[in-house]
Structure 1
Amino acid sequence: MPDWIDALIRLVFIVALMTINALALIYLERKVLARFQARVGPTRTGPVGILQSAADALKLLTKEDVRPHSADRWVFELAVFFVFVPVFLMFIPIPFTETWFIRDLELGFLYVFAVLGLNIVGVIMAGWGSDNKYALLGGIRAAAQAISYELPMLLAAAGVVMIAAGHLLDGGLVGGALNLNTIVDQQRTTPYILLQPLGFVIFMIGALAEMHRPPFDMPVAESEVVGGYFVEYSGIRWSMFFLAEYTGLFLMVMLGSTVFLGGWNFPFGADAGLGWQIVLTLGKASAMIFVLFWLRAMFPRLRIDQLMAFSWKVLLPFALLQVLANGIILAYGGPDWVVGLVSLALLVSLVALIYVLVRAKAGGDSIHLEPARPRLVKSTEVASGD
């Protein structure tokens, strides 16, 4: 079988698998959020509501596909594909097991982040082509947010590439550090989350922002931009935006599992067998998804100025500091534990800085927001008129 046919079959399989996966994620998110909020979530459609997502999907497929009369037809319709297609193309170099991936790209790390940037084109086209001021505002917000958080996320993951390159050089190999399968192979005994804890935290924050997930969902905030850049879409086109969001969420946790948690390799190694490798990869990804659902339930939505300032003034400087520290330590032949210790110290500094900033903000506002406390009196005083 020609290589391109084999790759096409695997890509079609991924599209089908991710469609089913998106339905499962929607159901699980609704159940998890309901648990956090003392509710029960979907219960009526199927056993314990398990068919609710499928019912919603069928409903969307049968809805009328409406296009605004004043919309730019070609831009409006092509925007869906610029949002939908890149998400699935990013799965090409992601290794599910040692041998199962669509293509083993030598520059797979750069490929994922390069294709991720195409999503910006899609959201801008959706906002502009809809001829709606709220859609345009949502598209501009989405583009600004994606650019702002893609930089620290890329730098956070670049620290892992630097460590992998150092390990390869120690083994007498030159190149290969941008290959995702090689990065997983280098984590045979030690996952890179132990060497780059700050990078992992920044990567996860950036992943939330890239996928417009709460608390970074300003581009699609119903209370401000009535749904954002896809407000004018309906039916199957709207469902494709939704499918792209949840597929992108799964892609991000798969990338995080590959780069920071050892993917299929840690802790059992390549001899674990195909079944255990799949369990390890998907198990780590599922744990990360649960954490992201947890964060959605915990934090309120950020203001747009807070969101942008947090990236440029906090995350980006710390990501640059980590890359600089990695470069200095590796250039002088420092051991891995020093790299991990410095990254941990930077993470503690980041948490302390966020705590100080939040406390200072709360302290400054409490003077003006503290409610007046009524004086409590005894019932006898009220009766006597005192």
Structure 2
Amino acid sequence: MTADPVDIALFAAKLGAVFFAVLTLAAYLVFAERRILAWIQDRKGPNRVGPFGLLQPLADVIKLLTKEDLVPAAADRWLFYLAPAMAAIPALLIFSVIPFGAPLTIAGHTLPLLIADLNVGLLFFLALSSIAVYGVAIGGWASNSKYSLLGGIRGLAQLISYELSMGLALVPVVMMSRSFSMTDIVTAQQSMPFIVYQPLAFIIFLISITAECRRIPFDLPEAEGELVAGFHTEYSGMRFGLFFVGEYINIIVLGGLAATFFLGGWHGPLLPPVIWFSIKTLAFAFLMIWLRGTLPRLRYDQLMHLGWKILTPLALFNILVTAWLLFLTS
């Protein structure tokens, strides 16, 4: 069976639009963070390049592309080159299974507003989030630097620890929607978002994705005051830029996932579905920026204690309670 050329063209247009939108959002999220943190700290922030400083992301890209790209003499060169891609690419791939709007009908062709409607979309997300861990670990190891290695080890332990609580927080979502498909999970929230039924799972997931993004108060893999910049200390130029933009792509993607799992995805009154999805996703991004300007960094023992002794037991308890309630109401 040959594919319809119109379907192929629509898919290519959708893929290009999503790729462009995510990268543009990530670039301007950096700008937004700098302006919001400046407002919190009572200073101006970037305001020189273009009107209101809106061309600052373009200036940053030019700077990164033209900076000298150095590789430490004793580094493992191939792993050193590979690590930044492993940090950024999985986040982009995760976005391919997130539905960001209701299906559209164009010229008699139905266009679902997501790249790939997998029936195991949630498992696909968990698998790719596991791969992203290797970008931090390999970057720290391949640099052949004590600071980078310590940051890589911290990042590996942190991401594995909080990945467990994040995955367990999503089990009640699967139990209530009876599906691993992102589309089915959003459809199951048509009348009521899951945050109403699962506030504890939402809080656990929110804390876990903040740790997965390595954001304050969980920025111990970077910890400028202790490790200079942690796992990416030895990176410069666009390789550092990939680590940097990968973090902000991750914020957008994990914010979109939080909206999909707990806030009803693209469902909402009055406004178009894509607008609702964008508002919910950017609200999470704003929350992470606000936390960075508000909270201090945790100690490492506090970080591990929170993940293993508080969040993981609470997530397991929540699964048992959810299973019991679903059994009583079935």
Structure 2 length-normalised TM: 0.92
The structure showing larger relative contact order (alpha-carbon pairs under 8 Å, at least 6 residues apart) is: 2
**Counterpart residue number, 2:51:** 47
Q: Which amino acid in structure 2 is aligned with residue 51 of structure 1?
A: L
Q: State whether residues 7 and 103 of structure 1, in contact with CA within 8 Å, keep that contact through their aligned partners in structure 2.
A: no
Shift in Å, 1:11: 4.1
CA distance in 2: counterparts of 1:8 and 1:124, whole angstroms = 34
CA distance in 1: counterparts of 2:47 and 2:79, whole angstroms = 40
Provide structure 2 residue ranges, at least 5 long, that are not aligned to the other structure. Answer: 103-111
Q: State whether residues 189 and 264 of structure 2, in contact with CA within 8 Å, keep that contact through their aligned partners in structure 1.
A: yes
**Counterpart residue number, 2:202:** 200
Shift in Å, 1:122: 1.5
Of the candidates 185, 188, 195, which is equivalent to residue 186 of structure 1? Answer: 188
Of the candidates 316, 324, 330, which is equivalent to residue 328 of structure 1? Answer: 324
Could you tell me the percent identity over the aligned residues? 43
CA distance in 1: counterparts of 2:177 and 2:50, whole angstroms = 47
**Counterpart residue number, 2:144:** 131
CA distance in 1: counterparts of 2:235 and 2:294, whole angstroms = 30
Q: State whether residues 168 and 315 of structure 2, in contact with CA within 8 Å, keep that contact through their aligned partners in structure 1.
A: yes
- Superposition CA RMSD, Å: 1.7
**Counterpart residue number, 1:143:** 156
Q: State whether residues 127 and 135 of structure 1, in contact with CA within 8 Å, keep that contact through their aligned partners in structure 2.
A: yes
2:128 aligned with 1:115: yes
What are the superposed Cα offsets for residues 160-204 of structure 1, whole Å, 9 maximum, x if unpaired? 111112xxxxxxxxxxx1111111111111111111111111111
**Counterpart residue number, 1:34:** 38
Shift in Å, 1:40: 2.0
Q: Which amino acid in structure 2 is aligned with residue 253 of structure 1?
A: G
2:65 aligned with 1:61: yes
CA distance in 1: counterparts of 2:12 and 2:143, whole angstroms = 33
The correspondence of residues 108-257 of structure 1 with structure 2, limited to 5 A, is 108-165=121-178, 177-257=179-259
Q: Structure 1 residues 320, 67: closer, same or farther in 2, change over 3 A?
A: same
CA distance in 2: counterparts of 1:226 and 1:5, whole angstroms = 47
Q: State whether residues 213 and 296 of structure 1, in contact with CA within 8 Å, keep that contact through their aligned partners in structure 2.
A: yes
Shift in Å, 1:15: 2.9
What are the superposed Cα offsets for residues 288-336 of structure 1, whole Å, 9 maximum, x if unpaired? 22122111111101111111111101111111110110011111227xx
**Secondary structure at 1:218 match in 2:** coil
Q: Which amino acid in structure 1 is aligned with residue 302 of structure 2?
A: Q
What are the superposed Cα offsets for residues 341-373 of structure 1, whole Å, 9 maximum, x if unpaired? xxxxxxxxxxxxxxxxxxxxxxxxxxxxxxxxx
CA distance in 2: counterparts of 1:90 and 1:108, whole angstroms = 9
- Paired residue total: 317
Structure 1 length-normalised TM: 0.79
Q: Which amino acid in structure 2 is aligned with residue 283 of structure 1?
A: I
**Secondary structure at 1:301 match in 2:** coil
Q: State whether residues 14 and 88 of structure 1, in contact with CA within 8 Å, keep that contact through their aligned partners in structure 2.
A: no
CA distance in 2: counterparts of 1:31 and 1:81, whole angstroms = 28
Shift in Å, 1:17: 2.1
Of the candidates 303, 306, 317, which is equivalent to residue 302 of structure 2? Answer: 306
Larger radius of gyration: 1
Shift in Å, 1:9: 5.8
**Secondary structure at 1:117 match in 2:** helix
